Amino acid sequence: MKRIIIFASGSGTNAENIISHFQSNKKAEITHVFSNKSTAKVLQRALKFGVNALHFDREALYNSHEVLNIIKDATPDLIVLAGFLWKFPDNIIEAYPNKIINIHPALLPNYGGKGMYGMHVHRAVVENKEAFSGITIHYVNENYDEGGIIFQAKTKLEDSDTPEEVASKIHQLEQEHFPNVIEELLYKE
């Protein structure tokens, strides 16, 4: 059985959608959800599904091998960042080359990089009067949002769209595509 670990920082709607998608799958399972916030709703969502939910601090992620060792013990086939807002540490990236993916709420390479997440992205898209926005699922490397692109989907924007309306359109794309792309990656080998 393929094993997936999810990292998230916030409410966890994407994580919950992924967990739900794989609940009835006999070939893959979500084994752990990690968060950098002890109060993140994603941890409660994971526990609701019986998934191990763990939180950590900067020390455990960046200055020790504590998180890396837990990941190694879990033997994941894929590590999924679903709204994880910290830069992923080099020691984990080196241990799992091309096994860590992220979803970004824009069509990279546009609107990527440090500080470009969530509503920051959607406001910039609206301010620049973009005709389209979308999602990018990509591999994680040592730089923010610069890993190889795996999948993109786009949606048309209206001149009247607010950042909140753009966010809603992007969330629909995330919910529709992210679990399926994960599943395809797991079985493309």
Write the CATH number for 17.
Answer: 3.40.50.170
CB 114 within 8 A of CB 134: no
Active site residues: 104
Backbone angles phi, psi at 92, to 5 degrees: -80, -40
- pLDDT over threshold 90, residue 189: no
Give the span between the Cα atoms of 122 and 170, in whole angstroms.
9
Averaged pLDDT for residues 110-135 = 97
Q: Is residue 50 part of a domain?
A: yes
Q: Is the pLDDT reported for residue 26 higher than 90?
A: no
pLDDT given for residue 22 in this prediction: 96
| Cα of 157 vs its chain's centroid, Å | 23
Evaluate whether residue 86 is within a structural domain.
Answer: yes
Q: What is the pLDDT of residue 111?
A: 98
d(CA 74, CA 42): 19
49 located within any domain:
yes
Mean pLDDT for 122-129 is 98
Evaluate whether residue 165 is within a structural domain: no
Q: Does residue 144 fall inside a structural domain? A: yes
Signed CA dihedral, 80, 141, 115, 176: sign only:
negative
116: helix, coil or strand?
coil
Higher pLDDT, 187 or 93: 93
Percent of the chain with pLDDT over 90: 96
Residue 161 lies in a domain: no
Domain that holds residue 38: 2-107+137-151+177-187
Say whether pTM exceeds 0.85: yes
- Kindly state the tokens that stand for 185: 């990656």
Please give the Cα distance from 172 to 155 (Å, whole number): 10
Tens of pLDDT, residue by residue over 57-97, are: 999 999 999 999 999 999 999 999 999 999 999 999 999 99
* 125 token code pair: 């898209």
Enumerate the H helices of the chain as residue ranges: 13-23, 41-48, 58-62, 66-74, 90-95, 118-127, 163-187
Q: How many domains does the chain have?
A: 1
pLDDT at 93: 97
36 located within any domain: yes
Q: Considering the domain boundaries, does residue 15 fall inside one?
A: yes
Whether residue 132 is predicted with pLDDT greater than 80 in this model: the reply is yes
Distances (CA, A) of 58 to 35, 64, 94: 11, 9, 18
Tokens of 84: 């994880």
